[in-house]
Every structure is written in C-alpha cells, then in structure tokens.
Copies of this chain bind each other. A is one copy, B any other.
Amino acid sequence: MRTVFFISDGTGITAETVGHSLLSQFEGISYRQERIPFIDTREKAIECRRRIDEAGVRDGVKPVVVSTLVDPAVSEPIGGANALHLDFIAAFIAPLEAELGIKSSRAVGRGHSQATSHDYALRIDAINFTMAHDDGVSNADLDKADVILIGVSRCGKTPTSLYLALQFGIKAANYPLIPEDFERGCLPGGLDQYRQKLFGLTIAADRLTQIRQERRPESKYASLDNCRWEVEQAERLMRRENIRWLSTTTMSIEEIAATLLQTIKLDRHSY
C-alpha cells in the first residue's frame, strides 16, 4: 500500500482536502495517509523527508506528497525526498505573483482566518447562534438569522446548519416540521413573519425510514408508512406556503450547503 503525506506549515487541512479531491479521481486505489501539520522550520522539514523516504522503503512504492509549505527554505528538503511531490505553492504562487505584480509574503499559517480577526468573531457568533437555535429550541432573535431551515425530523437540518455556521459564518436556525404542524396545516408558530428566510429540506421516504430505524427501530416514527406520510405532508406544506426547498436524499452536507447558498444567494463569509 502506498503512503500519501499531507504536509503544511499550518493545520494541513487544506493540503488534505485538496489531496483527497485529487486521489478520489483514481478508482480502486487504497492508500495510507499521514497528515503532518505545523512544519515551519527546516529542521522539521528534514525530519519529514526522513519519514517520507522511510515510508517509500517500507511500502516498496514511491510516496505521494501533497504540500502547502510557503517558505522555500522550509520546503526545499522535502523536494529532495524520493516521492511524487505535488507542491501547491510552487505551482501557483509564481504565476499569481506575475499577474498581481507583487511578491507574496510567503508567511506561514495563513490558510485560515486569524483567531483575533473581525471575520473570526463573526464566525464564532454564527456558531453560537446556530447552537442556540437548533431544532426549534428558541424563537428569540430569529430576526438575526440568515436562514431558517425547516423539514421533518432527520432530514439533515442540524448537520447542514452547523456546516453553514462553521464553514461560512452563516447564522442558521432550524425548525422541525412535526405531525402537529401537518394537522394544523400551517407553519410552526412564529415562523410566518420570517418567511423570506425559510428554506425547506426534504428527503425520500425510503431513505428517511432507514435513518430513523437506526435510532428507534420498530417504532411508528421510523416506519415506512409514517415516513411517507410525513414527507408528503411536509412537501405539501412547503409548496402551499411557497417555500424554496431541496431534497437531501443523496447529497452530502457540503452539497446541501452549496446548493442552498446558490439558491438563496447568501454567501456572506467564508473561511
């Protein structure tokens, strides 16, 4: 098995994200992965090189190195390793410098917003807001929400809300649609006045029953009949109230979030 290294002077999360994206293009490849963050001195880079070469000898096959090291003095030793080196900085910083007409600062650890920045404070605010408005627990301050997700239990509202807050600094409240709402035939109390912030999530009934069975096997709540009824009622409600919505059945959290942002043209922050 081949080893893939994600090496960075910061957290290594960008290197890893990109590396996964590239490697996912090769079917049937299995590999061992090592993320090595915070490589910000030449000494640490030399130790990395040793680990890379060791892995190559052990595996009997050249390691792949995905790196985002900005300081050439730090990345140089890693260039000497016996590996396929995919160096994002070397490949892209030089053309950017030429186009922008300025030299990059080559400062380490810039990939994420600084913990003391204004943007970062907004992001933490969004996380706090989203946590305080999960699953309809509070109606307070809903006027400050950027978006209010609605949908039946277990259709993906909570993970999507959290992702919107963490990744984009968006204040996302979420409200469950429950049988009582369907019987009354209207939106949960208080949401009416925030209609322009509402966004619906729905899901195929057979997928919903699978998810619910894992939590409450053999319950009426999880039964296919009940899931079908709830989904049908929820979609009817959303259509009648003219609320934008999408089906999460085969979508990852990232895909739901990106689709939602594209639909409602909400993209204030990103990190």
Contact (Cβ within 8 A) B166 A100: no
Interface residues on A, range: 35 or more
Contacts of A258 in B (CB 8 A): 10-13, 35, 37-38
- Would you give the shortest CB distance from A157 to chain B, in whole angstroms? 11
Residues in chain B near residue A92, CB distance under 8 A: 22, 86, 91
- Among A240-254, those with CB < 8 Å from B are 248-254
Task: Find chain B residues with CB under 8 A from A84 CB.
Answer: 95-96, 99
**Bound-complex Cα distance A89 to B249 (A):** 28
User: Is A14 on the interface with B (CB-CB < 8 A)?
Assistant: yes
A235 an interface residue at 8 Å Cβ cutoff? Answer: no
- Among A95, A105, A124, chain B packs the most CB atoms within 10 A around the CB of A124
Query: Which stretch (A25-33, A44-52, A72-80, A179-187) binds chain B?
Result: A25-33
Q: Which of B14, B21, B33, B115 contacts A21 (CB 8 A)?
A: B14
Which stretch of A62-70, A141-149, A192-200, A223-231 is in the interface? A62-70
A binding-site residues for B, Cβ under 8 Å = 10-14, 16-18, 20-27, 29, 33, 35, 37-38, 62, 64, 68, 70, 84, 86, 88-89, 91-93, 95-96, 99-100, 102, 104-107, 109-116, 120, 124, 127-128, 131, 134, 158-159, 162-163, 166-167, 248-255, 257-259, 261-262, 267, 270-271
What are 13 A-B pairs with beta-carbon distances under 8 A?
A12-B258, A16-B270, A25-B70, A25-B93, A25-B106, A29-B102, A35-B261, A84-B96, A84-B99, A86-B96, A113-B252, A114-B252, A115-B249
